[in-house]
A and B are shown apart, each in its own frame.
Chain A
């Protein structure tokens, strides 16, 4: 075939045989159908509506939190920490493998029971296998002065909410 092409340089490209044409058409159609099926399956398997708890939660009135206190909300998996500089919320989920941490007043540290990671009340890691500090969540006060936390939005550390 290549020899034919060289012999007739001025002509259009070599005509494709009927068998090769239908083979290409068949393989192409199969490829198209496979791609369509995969895209269909992906769209079907990704839920459009989730019945999960809202990431935005109400952690109660700000006056319930005294200065220099660390309060764990186990159901919300967050700490509400109030220091001299202000109030903020911290994830209670260890950055190692996702265990729920606990506040240890006697150590003045947040401790993970699974693999022994330790964090300060500002989320800074001081010991253990955890690769990152505990993340800070976006926090604001509602009109009723309730502490609102958006658990889906991480903010840089040390951005205190002054109250």
Chain B
């Protein structure tokens, strides 16, 4: 009875003009209405409107991509909270890091959550990549999504690298000194890249600020952008790859021809 009351209240809300102005797909349990609810929502429209049941099995993906996204969301939330106490300046950064550890309520918890989530995200991104590779899920028509995935892996590693400098301790300083010197090895323009990356010749206040901006603004925005493309391409490439759900194709041409003729291409 309680449930019925709640349901009728929900019905009333969903029939209201406000609700209809926000969600325009209309109500109903038909396949059309249910797919419209996904298709006409800005957040959901990058996802497929129809998903095969076997795509949702744990065995199909081990949920590695979703778990990577989960760690990313955790990192965004904890990262924003850490930004409330962190000044990217010398030597205040180190003092703020110590304050987060010893003074701020739950600061230690949030900092450790950020750090362990970062490790987990790198691990899960690699695990996801290996899963896609060994199952052959990168093959046409999904070859471009593999490229987007490689970009996302690079963004993930750069996020890890730029975040490593922010505690401003000895480990951070020398790691970035060594790491940034690798960029000097680029032929001809190497030293210029090194100079621009650090905003000087040494790892100092400019470098800390540049790494902070990269870590908190530029790289997360790049990650969000490419994650959106990555998810959207799943839909565009025919949904999640499920092993043996379709024959292997060697080239994009084959895949397209395959879809046009509905024939199975058998390689010798």
Q: Which residues of B contact A7 (CB under 8 A)?
A: none
Interface size on A, residues (CB 8 A): 13
A interface SS class: helix
Count A/B pairs, Cβ under 8 Å. Answer: 25
How many chain B residues have a CB neighbour from A under 8 Å? 13
Interface string of B189-213 (1 = CB under 8 A from A): 0000000000000000000000000
Q: Are B3 and A44 in contact (CB under 8 A)?
A: no
Report the Cα distance A39→B105, complex, angstroms.
Answer: 11
Taking CB as reference atom, which chain B residue is nearest A42?
B105
Q: Which of A1-54 contact B (CB under 8 A)?
A: 1-2, 19-20, 23, 40, 43-49
Q: Is the CB of B104 within 8 A of A48?
A: yes
Q: Is there contact, CB below 8 Å, between A49 and B99? A: yes
Cβ contact of A23, chosen from B3, B81, B99, cutoff 8 A: B3
Residues of chain A lying within 8 A (CB to CB) of residue B48: none
Instruction: Decide: A20 near B2, CB < 8 A? Known: A44-B81, A44-B110.
Output: yes
The reply to whether the CB of B1 lies closer than 8 angstroms to some CB of chain A is yes
- CB neighbors of B among A100-156 (8 A): none
Closest A residue by C-beta to B106: A44
What is the minimal beta-carbon distance from B223 to any residue of chain A, in angstroms?
Answer: 24
A46 to B85, CA, bound (A): 11
Q: A43-B105, A43-B106, A48-B105 are in contact. List 19 more A-B contacts (CB 8 A).
A: A2-B1, A19-B3, A20-B2, A20-B3, A23-B3, A40-B106, A44-B84, A44-B104, A44-B105, A44-B106, A44-B107, A44-B110, A45-B84, A46-B105, A47-B85, A47-B104, A48-B103, A48-B104, A49-B103
Interface residues in chain B, defined as those with a beta carbon under 8 Å from any beta carbon in chain A: 1-3, 81, 84-85, 99, 103-107, 110
Q: Which residues of A contact B (CB under 8 A)?
A: 1-2, 19-20, 23, 40, 43-49
> What are 25 A-to-B residue pairs whose CB atoms are below 8 Å?
A1-B1, A2-B1, A19-B3, A20-B2, A20-B3, A23-B3, A40-B106, A43-B105, A43-B106, A44-B81, A44-B84, A44-B104, A44-B105, A44-B106, A44-B107, A44-B110, A45-B84, A46-B105, A47-B85, A47-B104, A48-B103, A48-B104, A48-B105, A49-B99, A49-B103
